[in-house]
Amino acid sequence: MARLADYLDSIRARDPAPHSRLEVLTYPGVWALGWHRVAHWLYRRRLFLLARMINHLSRFLTAIDIHPGATIGRNFFIDHGFVVIGETAEIGDDVTIYQYVTLGGTSPDNGVAGKRHPTLLDGAIIGSGAQVLGPITVGRRARVGVNAVVTRDVPEGAVMVGIPARPTMVEGGKAPERPFMAYGTPCSELFDPATQKVEILRCELEMMKARLDALVADGAAGEQTPPVARNRV
């Protein structure tokens, strides 16, 4: 019961809407995770049909489809529904996913089933409508913005926006003051859809400038090095 209370409190810390723990218990994401724990237990014991039956029941009741084979850590929160999580997905602790998110897989070229779905490390936030595809890794405390499409690894603490998703600066390059960011996207004019492309270009320009400064510094250091004295015959 103490572990359940901690789980419900972790959801209240990320969602100000509920007024009590009992209200959190009505959330479809909580029920979907509970059903998944049972289905995953059966799946690991190779009772695949029973696991699938529970999966289908959970999807019917919650509109959330979590494959029984998916591995999920502690304090996982699905805010609202219509989420799809694939078989080989791995989710760490304190991960938050919003509505209409897909953790989708890729078809292996050699026809052999393997790791096909994403890995979300601790504290990751996936905004509503985002599509995270393939056997990629989303780093710790990374944030994927609304409707982003992620097909490559996400660095730790990065904020990803766009199609395809690219890292962007947070509030002009400063680290976020709050540890949690609702929907994975800061609510400021800086991240307005009309200016997201400009912000991405600015970030790329800063990276190119840093590389150019490094090259200039290396060139200057090379010019200052005294030439090797030649032996006279």
Say if residue 210 is in the same domain as residue 136: no
Does the residue 154 lie in any domain?
yes
Say if residue 181 is in the same domain as residue 215: no
Say if residue 47 is in the same domain as residue 156: yes
Say if residue 102 is in the same domain as residue 12: yes
Q: Is 220 helix (H, G, I), strand (E, B) or coil?
A: helix
What are the tens digits of pLDDT across the range 138-150? 999 999 988 899 9
What are the tens digits of pLDDT across the range 208-220? 888 888 888 777 7
- The number of domains in the chain is 2
Say if residue 71 is in the same domain as residue 149: yes
Say if residue 81 is in the same domain as residue 118: yes
**Which of the two residues, 230 and 72, has the higher pLDDT score?**
72
- Between CA 169 and CA 175, with CA 170 as vertex, the angle to 5 degrees is 115
Q: Is 211 helix (H, G, I), strand (E, B) or coil?
A: helix
Say if residue 145 is in the same domain as residue 205: no
- Residue 231: DSSP 8-state: P
Say yes or no to pLDDT of 193 above 70: no
Say if residue 61 is in the same domain as residue 140: yes
Does the residue 19 lie in any domain?
yes
What are the tens digits of pLDDT across the range 45-89? 999 999 999 999 999 999 999 999 999 999 999 988 899 999 999
The CATH number that applies at residue 166 is 2.160.10.10
Query: What pLDDT is attached to residue 198?
Result: 60
Does the residue 231 lie in any domain?
no
Say if residue 137 is in the same domain as residue 83: yes
Q: Which domain holds residue 8?
A: 2-186
As a three-state string, the secondary structure of 121-150 is CCCCEECCCCEEECCCEECCCCEECCCCEE
